[in-house]
Structure formats: structure tokens, C-alpha cells
């Protein structure tokens, strides 16, 4: 079962300590970025940061690190936990997705745009009658 799914179930728990711990985990996933783990330059050279130098919230946001030996060196793959799911859970927890009249939430507006009406123009060419040639 996915980590986000487990956290979602734990948020429904009665224990405040457990709920706060899960909320902290979700916030860690939602606030971390891949650039917290690695960096690259304009030449495409990628540098992975030492795991001991990563803050705890960044370490919690890493789902998988895969190292594959190749003839040119190690190929490293870093996969982060799903940030969108974490942010969706946080939004739901803080009431940002509930329907109501709360003025603190962003508004959703419907916008209708009308363009100019299309008109079709036809050009009629009149051909002059050819003059008859008499012999």
C-alpha cells in the first residue's frame, strides 16, 4: 500500500500525536523539491547531494534511490513521493477544498469569452464577353 494512502488513513485516527506525526510527514512531502536532492549545470552534469547533508524533511520525501552500474559509471535514479497527492491531502485537511462561504479560500470564477462573429465574404468576378471576330 502506498505511503500517501497510509497517511490518509492515519489522519482519520483519534490520536492527536499520530495525526500530528502524519501531518508532518505529508508537509515534508509537499514542501520538498528534487533540487533539494540533486543539482545540474548547463552542460547536463548532475550532482547528487550526500544523504547526510539532506534535511530530515527532504529525506522523508524520497521514495526510492536506485543505483545501476554501467560501463560509464553508476546511473542514479531518484524518485520522490507524489507531491500532488500530499498537497491535495493538506488542502483537504485545512479546508481549502470544502464548499462554503469562507472568504479565506480562493475563488473560482466562470469566464465566458466571445470572439467576433464570423462573416463570409465572396468575391464575384465578372468576365467580359469576348468580342466576336468577323471575317
**Domain map (residue ranges) of the chain:** 3-93
Output b/e per residue, 1-22; b: 16+ Cβ within 10 A. eebbeebbebeeeeeeeeeeeb
Q: Which of 34-43, 68-77, 111-120 has the lowest mean pLDDT?
A: 111-120
Q: How confident is the model at residue 104 (pLDDT cuts 50, 70, 90)?
A: low
Mean pLDDT of 120-132: 64
End-to-end Cα, the chain, rounded Å = 100
pTM for the structure as a whole: 0.55
Q: How confident is the model at residue 3 (pLDDT cuts 50, 70, 90)?
A: low
Amino acid at each position: 500500500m502506498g505511503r500517501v494512502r497510509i497517511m490518509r488513513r492515519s489522519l482519520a485516527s483519534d490520536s492527536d500525536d499520530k495525526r500530528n506525526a502524519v501531518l508532518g510527514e505529508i508537509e515534508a512531502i509537499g514542501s520538498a523539491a528534487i533540487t533539494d536532492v540533486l543539482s545540474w549545470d548547463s552542460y547536463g552534469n548532475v550532482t547528487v547531494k550526500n544523504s547526510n547533508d539532506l534535511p530530515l524533511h527532504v529525506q522523508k520525501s524520497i521514495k526510492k534511490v536506485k543505483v545501476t552500474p554501467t560501463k560509464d559509471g553508476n546511473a542514479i535514479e531518484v524518485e520522490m513521493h507524489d507531491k500532488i497527492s500530499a498537497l491535495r491531502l493538506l488542502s483537504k485537511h485545512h479546508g481549502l477544498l470544502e464548499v462554503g462561504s469562507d472568504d479565506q479560500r480562493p475563488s473560482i470564477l466562470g469566464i465566458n469569452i466571445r470572439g467576433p462573429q464570423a462573416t463570409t465574404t465572396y468575391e464575384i468576378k465578372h468576365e467580359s464577353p469576348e468580342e466576336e471576330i468577323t471575317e
